[in-house]
Amino acid sequence: MPDWRLRRSLLITPGHRADRLAKAATLPADSIAFDLEDGVPPSRKAEARAAVAAALRDLDFGGRERVVRINAVGSDAWEQDLAALPLGGLDAVMLPKVESPEALRRLDARLAALAPGQAPLPVIATLETPRGILNALAIADASPNLAAIFFGPGDYTLATGGALTPRALDFPRQVITAAAGAVGAQALDAPYLGGLRDVEGTRADALLARELGFSGKVVFHPDQIAPVNAAFTPNAEEVARARRYVAAFREAAARGENVALVDGEFVAMDLVPRMERIIATQAAAALRQG
């Protein structure tokens, strides 16, 4: 499993828009995903590959994660996408429309063939169809390079006839977080589609996603970045509580005990990693702001 990193917000930017690629690299999203898939018209795929390759070579991302969303495995374009990219300038590959474990295996094999000797690239798998959702655990188990699972609701609701509402999306969202949690990967939620500049709606949707177990959200517009980052950043009270829990458990462990009592609540070993992740998230977020 790839090392954990901060992914509160992942901004997707169309690959054929060179001006937007340059701007995206300056925005406060944790991850920048240059799109070669749905955001690019078929007639401009080659142009997008060239623009994204140039951006990866030339732009300063200031520590932001560099991601490219390629076309789906099995399409006519995914191998052309990979062949055009400077893989050494990438931090992760985002794979859309994953419906089976085989898609991740084929991607891993192709990346290994294109960059022999290079450390495997982390993969962000997108589950966006009913078949993908129902195969979520098998997909999560398919690759040691899986870093995150992203839920894309568009094709899912098109197939099911459901609405883009929290109630209608509750089942696939919980499946995504369960599958990601089973293998230690992150879960990334769907973008808020109720209004690209609806700051309060974006924040409320992000808080719901965090409650369900997501680590972050995909965003489509710069105005969505700040409320999403804020929603997925632990506040001072949460961090202080986490520090108390970790310190108390370590003191108990030093005495040969398996549990500690903090704020009237028992702290056992299984709670400590969650508290440590809260502390690590806040620390990483503070570094991003700096």
If asked whether residues 83 and 217 sit together in one domain, one would say: yes
If asked whether residues 32 and 114 sit together in one domain, one would say: yes
If asked whether residues 222 and 244 sit together in one domain, one would say: no
Residue 3 in this model has a pLDDT that exceeds 70 = yes
If asked whether residues 100 and 204 sit together in one domain, one would say: yes
193 within a domain of the structure (yes/no): yes
pLDDT band with cut points at 50, 70 and 90 for residue 64: very high
Tokens encoding 84: 């055009």
The whole-number pLDDT of residue 264 equals: 73
If asked whether residues 109 and 189 sit together in one domain, one would say: yes
What does pLDDT average to over the chain? Answer: 93
1 within a domain of the structure (yes/no): no
128: number of Cβ within 10 Å:
24
Residue 19 in this model has a pLDDT that exceeds 70 = yes
Tokens encoding 23: 């701007």
If asked whether residues 180 and 200 sit together in one domain, one would say: yes
The whole-number pLDDT of residue 159 equals: 95
* Mean local confidence (pLDDT), 198-227: 95
For residues 18 and 268, which has the higher predicted lDDT (pLDDT)? Answer: 18
If asked whether residues 56 and 159 sit together in one domain, one would say: yes
Which CATH number is 145's domain given? 3.20.20.60
Number of domains in the chain: 2
Its pTM stands at 0.93
What separation in angstroms does the CA of 153 have from each of 138, 157, 159, 169, 174? Answer: 20, 6, 10, 8, 13
What gap in Å lies between CA 173 and CA 210, rounded to an integer?
A: 11
Domain endpoint, select from 231, 247, 276: 231
3-class DSSP state for residue 22? helix
The H or E element containing residue 127 is strand 123-127
3 within a domain of the structure (yes/no): no
If asked whether residues 124 and 19 sit together in one domain, one would say: yes
Domain that holds residue 84: 9-231
> Are 249 and 260 spatial neighbours (Cβ–Cβ below 8 Å)?
yes
If asked whether residues 121 and 247 sit together in one domain, one would say: no
225 within a domain of the structure (yes/no): yes
If asked whether residues 139 and 152 sit together in one domain, one would say: yes
Residue 290 in this model has a pLDDT that exceeds 70 = no
Written as one letter, the residue type at 219 is: V
If asked whether residues 266 and 191 sit together in one domain, one would say: no
**Phi, psi dihedrals of residue 67, rounded to the nearest 5°:** -125, 145
204 within a domain of the structure (yes/no): yes
If asked whether residues 39 and 157 sit together in one domain, one would say: yes
Domain endpoint, select from 231, 253, 281: 231
The H or E element containing residue 189 is strand 186-189
Domain endpoint, select from 231, 248, 279: 231
The whole-number pLDDT of residue 235 equals: 92
Tell me the per-residue pLDDT of 240-268, one tens digit each, with 9 for 90 and over. 988 988 887 888 778 877 777 777 777 77
Which residue shows structure tokens 């169309």? 14
